[in-house]
Amino acid sequence: MNGITRRLPVASVVLALALAASGLTERVTQAQAQITSPEKFFGFQMGADRKLVRWDKAVEYYKLLEKESGGKLKVVNMGPTEMGNPFLLVIITSPANQARLEQLRQMNLKLSDPRGVPEAEIKRIVAEGKVVICQTMSMHASEVGGVNMAPELTYDLISRTDAETQRILDNVVYLEIPSFNPDGAIMIHDYYMKYVGTEYEGGSLPWLYNKYIGHDNNRDALTMNMKDSQYVGKLMFVDWKPQAYVDHHHMGTYGARIFVPPYAEPIRPLADPQVWREMQWYGGHIAYKEEEAGLSGVLNTGQYSGWGHFGFHWITPFHNIAGMLTESASVRVATPIFIDPSQLAGGDRGLETYKEQMNFPDPWPGGWWTLRGVVERQKVSAWATLDLAARNKDTVLWNAYLKASRQTERGAKGKPAAYAISANQHDPLTLNKLVNALLAQGIEVMQSARGFATPDGMTYPAGSFYVTLAQPKMGLIRYLLGETHYPDNEHTREPDGTPIRPYDMGQDVLAEYMGIRVDPLNEAVKSDFAKVAAQILTAGKVAAKAPFGYAIDGRLNDSFRTVNLLWDKGVAVRRVDSAADGLRPGDWLVPAGVEAVITDVAKRTGVDFAALKADVKQGAHEAKRLRIGMYQRYRGGNMDEGWTRWLFEQWGFPFTQVYDAEILKGSLNAKYDVFIFADDSTSTITGEPGGGGRGEGRGGMAFASVPNTTPPEYRSGIGAEGVNAIKDFVQKGGTLVTLGGATDFAITRLGLPVRNVVAGLSTKEFFVPGSTLRVNIDNTNPLAYGMPSEGLVLFHYSPAFDVVATDFNDRNTIIVRYADRDVERSGWLNGEKYIAGKTAMASIGFGQGKVVLIGFRTQNRAQTHGTYKFLFNALVSPPAR
């Protein structure tokens, strides 16, 4: 305690001295006459205790600054968020640069893809161009520092008149996203303010902090399903391609005060090496400036590994952008927290014990930790990034050119040299979606109108795609399209051999997630390829004459969207159960006489309606829409549930969100045919002690809150009574669908004859972080209709099953099994023998109903298109038994 009271004033004195020495205090106060300060506008200092900026007020403030800035600041409303709030881009640079912004953007695009640009022109661009820096705030809305720091940073940039500021404005085009999650910023503000001054002050939001996906919004950089992601993705990957990007976050409370670049081990290979050096360079300058400002507790080269998920700040290095993050120690939203020095602890990568070391020379001593402490450190880091770029403009721009051209050269020389993607796929409409996802990343994709052949004799039909690695984003292409194996080495295992959990997945092979076959080519192909210039949207064809009605290919994921649209219009649809006359199990049959409806549906979905050759009288059943209920809980919300909800909306499945109260009322069969539990832990579903939702991995925020800061109405869990209601539902004929970890709930609480064969194994024995695994599929089973007989599934610390022998084995069906050998396709599979040949998905009879167990991540983050049908099939009526 004494230690704290003695040392804190010292830190304040140092800060005052540093500010006085640099003359900042005078200069800062000088310029405030014409421009409204955040304090004046919001009525409090940014980061003040128990005060938060509300997003609608922030929007007003940036618009006011635009008027007052004298041409230094431009506000762009990029569009509405998922909940209809404005998503802003704030562009800050000198008035002269603002006047020729489009020209600067075009010049910058040439540096980031210099193919075909003469070196003389590059040199001219380096001399005349400007560095482009992008920074995004509070993507994770509960990490409120960014949204509350940005008004002050923005104000400083346009109001300060010193040489340092002028240099930034002259040399940098700063693209600021003042909130990367406006919906969440509003939710967090309103929830916090509602409970401020009560016993629940500073507690966690009981639901997801945006409409669908909560914390997973960072993981959405891979496919950009959400509007917020689409805005930032287009800005960074297509329109501007900045030289550096910083994403401002919060982390746990009891370690370093702020983590700044660079990352720790392991590195993710295949980026240009210069991009990692740039992170050391920016990070070094940031840390240096933090010390200059007297701000302690700065850690770099620790905690966050270079190989993370492909979220925005970790995917950007493969766009040749120095993609960085800061992570500040959390407070309780805007409520200060007192930390005794003895509670400060290391224990993570690069900071084993909390003491002075090379990457952490100035430990914070403990005491009261406040949001203002976060805002100050974040602001210095954001400023220092702009400052370094401004001081080294020509170097940064030249190196942008070097990074892009060297990656292109590496791609040209390396193996594979390119990827070929045949138009002939199990689900060609999903292939279009893969190509569209590549285009959204700013990757160049070529298409062949007539087809092409490779030097070693492989042929590809008309419409096939070709992706050369001789382009700047070659590293990204390798990860999205090519087999990837997570490193198994001294950086990824403890000295005793225990695997260290990767930050997220062990791979990010989008093609494998989507069930699209991609062939690596060792030699480049020359053909009359044309660049795919825009997102592919195809219209389906409707056969001209179809007296017997139409068939829809059940292998297409979009056939489900099609059928849902038909059902919306009251069209009856049948489903094929046995192969005949070119029809496969899972194909859909549509009657003649509804041409007006299907013409429109074909146009919207891209699905073809083929003419039936004859009346199909046998081997098909009338398919009906099932009534879907999905469990919705509090405790921070369930991201997997949110993704599933979004997916259902996109694919046209009507459903109801069901909270505890409705389950406890019982009689679920009266309203639902299918009931879904998204990936979750059993204790979280039931509300037993120990349930805190699924883990977030390293750096996640965790508070042990005693007393409980969650108001009683949000302490969810269905309890024993709810378990009985679910049991009753299945016994009376309902279908219970459980995904991922929620399979454990069904197995243990309903007492199913199923064993999770990997439960209880140590990570040394069995460890599978986000890997694609080979499976065999019984596609004659209605739950696997439309699937190939062999495929890939995403296994992410998932369960795998043995169906235990009973007297009623006929009631249980194994639908998907892991391959007998060579199970891993991509990622990391440690302990193959434990799952080889084991059950991945099964249907277990229970009373008059059944429980569908899908252990793998069938609809993970709305990315695993290749396995959607396992879930979708469970949502439509099966043939009568």
Residue 151 contacts residue 48 (beta carbons within 8 Å): no
Nearer to Zn ion, 214 or 799 (CB): 214
Q: Which stretch binds Zn ion (CB under 5 A): 17-25, 247-255, 348-356, 712-720?
A: 247-255
Which residue's CB is nearer to Zn ion, number 143 or number 444?
143
Rank residues 143 and 152 by Cβ distance to Zn ion and give the closer one: 143
Options 26-34, 97-105, 241-249, 649-657: segment touching Zn ion (CB under 5 A)? 241-249
Q: Rounded to whole angstroms, how far apart are CA atoms 179 and 768?
A: 35
Nearer to Zn ion, 143 or 744 (CB): 143
Q: Confirm or reject binding of residue 72 to Zn ion (CB under 5 A).
A: no
- The CA-to-CA distance between both ends of the chain, in Å, stands at 72
Q: Given the complex with Zn ion, which of 315 and 787 has the nearer CB atom?
A: 315
164 or 696: CB nearest Zn ion: 696
Sign of CA dihedral 404, 409, 415, 419: positive
Q: Could you tell me which residues come within 8 angstroms of residue 758 by beta carbon, excluding any fewer than 6 positions away? A: 766, 799, 800, 834, 835
Give ∠ CA 698-704-708 in degrees, rounded to 5.
Answer: 140
Closest by CA to 263, choosing from 250, 274, 277, is 277
Site track 128-167 with Zn ion (rule: CB under 5 A), x = hit: ------------x--x------------------------
Please say which residue, 416 or 699, places its beta carbon nearer to Zn ion: 699
Nearer to Zn ion, 143 or 662 (CB): 143
Only one of the segments 11-19, 245-253, 739-747, 799-807 lies at the binding site for Zn ion (rule: CB under 5 A); that segment is 245-253
Contact 565, 601 (CB under 8 A): yes
Closest Cα partner for 627 from 663, 598, 670?
Answer: 670
Per DSSP, what are the bridge partners of residue 77?
88
| Nearest distance, CB of residue 504 and Zn ion, angstroms | 13
Q: How far is the CB of 514 from Zn ion (least distance, A)?
A: 27
Kindly provide the b/e burial profile for residues 366-388, where b requires at least 16 CB atoms within 10 angstroms of the residue's own CB.
bbebbbbbbbbbbbbbbbbbbbb
Say if CB 764 and CB 746 are below 8 A apart. no
Taking Cα atoms as reference points, which of 385, 169, 386 lies closest to residue 283?
Answer: 385
In the complex, minimum distance from the CB of residue 740 to Zn ion, in angstroms, rounded to a whole number: 22
Residue type, 271: A
CB of 140 to Zn ion, least distance (A): 3
Report CA-CA distances (Å) from 452 to 425, 448, 478, 520, 881.
16, 7, 22, 15, 48
The count of residues interacting with Zn ion (CB under 5 A) is: 3
Which region, judged by CB under 5 A, interacts with Zn ion, from 229-237, 242-250, 640-648, 798-806?
242-250
Q: How far is CA 481 from CA 228, 319, 507, 651, 867, in A?
A: 25, 15, 11, 25, 17
| Nearest distance in Å: CB 139, Zn ion | 6
Burial 160-183 (b: 16+ CB within 10 A, else e): beeeebebbbebbbbbbbbbbbbb
Stretch that binds Zn ion, among 168-176, 189-197, 243-251, 474-482 (CB under 5 A): 243-251
Burial class (CB in 10 A: 0-12, 13-18, 19+), 618: exposed
Residue 245 or 653: the one with the smaller Cβ distance to Zn ion is 245
Angstrom distance (rounded) from CA 679 to CA 344: 34
3-state secondary structure of 752: coil
Task: Candidates 244-252, 288-296, 328-336, 553-561: pick the segment binding Zn ion (CB under 5 A).
Answer: 244-252
315 vs 594, beta carbon nearer Zn ion: 315
For residue 467, what is the enclosing H or E element? Answer: strand 465-468
Query: Minimum CB separation from Zn ion for residue 325, in Å?
Result: 8
Quickly list H helices, 293-427: 312-315, 371-391, 393-413
How far is residue 581 from each of residues 369, 612, 614, 622, measured CA to CA in Å?
Answer: 72, 9, 9, 19
Q: Which of 249, 313, 349, 645 binds Zn ion (CB under 5 A)?
A: 249
Cβ distance 331 to 371 under 8 Å?
yes
Residue with Cβ nearer Zn ion (143 or 673): 143
What is the rounded CA–CA span in Å between residue 798 and residue 739? 10
Identify which of residues 146 and 283 has a Cβ nearer to Zn ion in the complex: 146
Q: Smaller CB distance to Zn ion: residue 313 or 850?
A: 313
Output 248 or 838, the one with its CB closest to Zn ion. 248
Smallest separation, CB 358 to Zn ion (Å): 26
Binding site for Zn ion (CB under 5 A): 140, 143, 249
